[in-house]
Amino acid sequence: MDQKWKILYYKTSQGTDPVHDFIDSLDEKIKAKIIDALDLLEEFGVRLGLPHAKKLTGTPLWELRVVGSGNIRIFYVAVVSKTFLLLHGFQKKKQKTNRKEIKIAIFRLKEHVERSK
Share of residues in the chain with pLDDT > 70 (%):
97
Number of Cβ atoms within 10 Å of the Cβ of 53: 20
Residue 1 — pLDDT band, cuts 50, 70, 90? low
Average pLDDT of span 68-72: 83
CATH number attached to the domain at 6-116: 3.30.2310.20
CB 19 within 8 A of CB 89: yes
**Strand ranges (E), the chain:** 6-9, 53-55, 62-66, 72-79, 83-91
- The ranges assigned to domains in the chain are 6-116
pLDDT digits (tens, 9 = 90+) for 90-106: 999 888 889 999 999 99
Confidence at residue 106, expressed as pLDDT on a 0 to 100 scale: 98
Number of Cβ atoms within 10 Å of the Cβ of 5: 19
CB 19 within 8 A of CB 26: no
